[in-house]
Amino acid sequence: MPPFPTKNDTLAKKKEGKSKGKLRAEFRKKHQGRVRTSDLTREFQQDVSSRLDDAAHGERLSGKGELTRRKTIAGADNAPRGSDGLQVEVRVNEAQLTHGRVLSVHGRQSKVQADDGRLYACAVRQVLKSLATDQRGVVVAGDRVWFRIEGREGDDGQSGRRADEVVTGDGMIERVEPRHGIICRTSRNKQHVIAANVDALLIIASAAEPGIKPTLIDRMLLTASQHDIEPVIVINKIDLIDPLRLQALVGVYASLGYRVLTTSANTGQNLEYLHAFLQNRQTALAGQSGVGKSSLLNSIEPGLALAVSTVSVENQKGRHTTTASKLIPLARGGAVFDTPGIRQFQLWDIEATEVAGLMPDLRPYVSGCRYPDCLHLHEDDCMVKDAVADGRIDARRYDAYCHLLEDDLLSE
């Protein structure tokens, strides 16, 4: 015979039924406290009110206003905490919404392509914008979203035109699906997600004008490894130099198992191979300004007419022609992210002790060090430093590792 329910069991069941479908979530704090804390009049009033504390000892303070940054969201669940940092997933009626993917974000408006190919200009539901996250924005290019169509839809007239040329209606994004494969960096102490749901990352460098930056390549390789994205190193503008000058550098990355491709938008070298690689996947192109990302896309997909510019003669730095990430569907299948040029790529959510484990040439020796938290810089009995001395780890790669830790992660 089952035991009779106790009073605590009854209260717990009522509480569970009452809170079903609700979640306490952190929100951004809209209203800040007063800046002036030394006002004499206010101090006098506070002093007077403090004398009445005994009379108000029976009052209860509820978590409102400045006392809390948490609110209750009806119809929300705990979402798995992934690499995007989101903590809340709002439940919606999918039968009443339209599914699509975000092509670009400009201010408060997002261009969303529905699964049927139609394009909508969408705003973001206020509850999503208010959620406190570590990100600069809630919605980014590549996100899979559910949105509500608002207003009238007309004939889009897209016959013979690209899908991103004509907007057929307005919408409201109600929910963002969990992400995989994000490209992100640190910007103003927040996570700047450049692209989401990325399958492969083309790390674009240039043989000249501007010159190649191995440290930037290494940072992007770490990010790709952290988020399980397939990286490909593309060295563009190979027609400007003698390819033998890059043989040693290419050999180092190739020996580590990375795919390295030399290209030229001017001569067409390896562009057909690159086009074949882009099919049936979402691929992000990332690199510093002026390396030729937009030029490569224009050569691969005729008709895009992406803006391009020359490199400054004075400082050998490229000019920003792409100002925001954009997801571009390709005619032969797949899609590519055209991203803004990056001059600094500061890692996000990677600790100094994790870097060696993300580098395939250092990883086999990490567990052999004397200290479990060894940074492989100045510690004794370090297996990584021994491997460098014996020639089992390329000295240039170890130097890049040291610069990454000392100039970026350990200088904060």
Supply 259's token pair: 């795919």
**The pLDDT of residue 10:** 55
CATH of domain 352-409: 1.10.40.50
**Is 279 annotated to bind ligand?**
no
Alpha-carbon distance values, 59 to 51, 52, 54, 56, 400 (Å): 15, 12, 10, 6, 61
The answer to whether the annotation marks 270 as part of a ligand binding site is no
Any known ligand binding at 48? no
> What topology is assigned to 183-338 in CATH?
Rossmann fold (3.40.50)
Judge whether 290 is annotated as a binding position.
Answer: yes
pLDDT of residue 67: 39
**Mean pLDDT of successive 10-residue segments in the chain (412 residues)?**
55 50 50 51 60 48 45 48 49 84 90 93 83 69 92 49 64 91 78 89 92 86 90 95 91 92 92 92 89 88 68 44 76 86 67 89 94 92 95 90 79 56
Topology (CATH) of 88-155+162-176 = OB fold (Dihydrolipoamide Acetyltransferase, E2P) (2.40.50)
pLDDT of residue 31: 42
Closest CA to 222 of 85, 32, 5, 404: 404
Nearest to 76 by CA among 58, 90, 61, 92: 90
Cα separation of 57 and 53, whole Å? 6
Residues of the chain with CATH 1.10.40.50: 352-409
Q: φ and ψ at 297, to 5 degrees?
A: -65, -40
Is 184 a known ligand-binding residue?
no
Task: Please check if 369 is assigned to a binding site.
Answer: yes
Span(s) in the chain for CATH 3.40.50.300: 183-338
Is 18 marked as a binding-site residue?
no
20: annotated binding-site residue? no
Q: Find out whether 293 is annotated in a ligand binding site.
A: yes
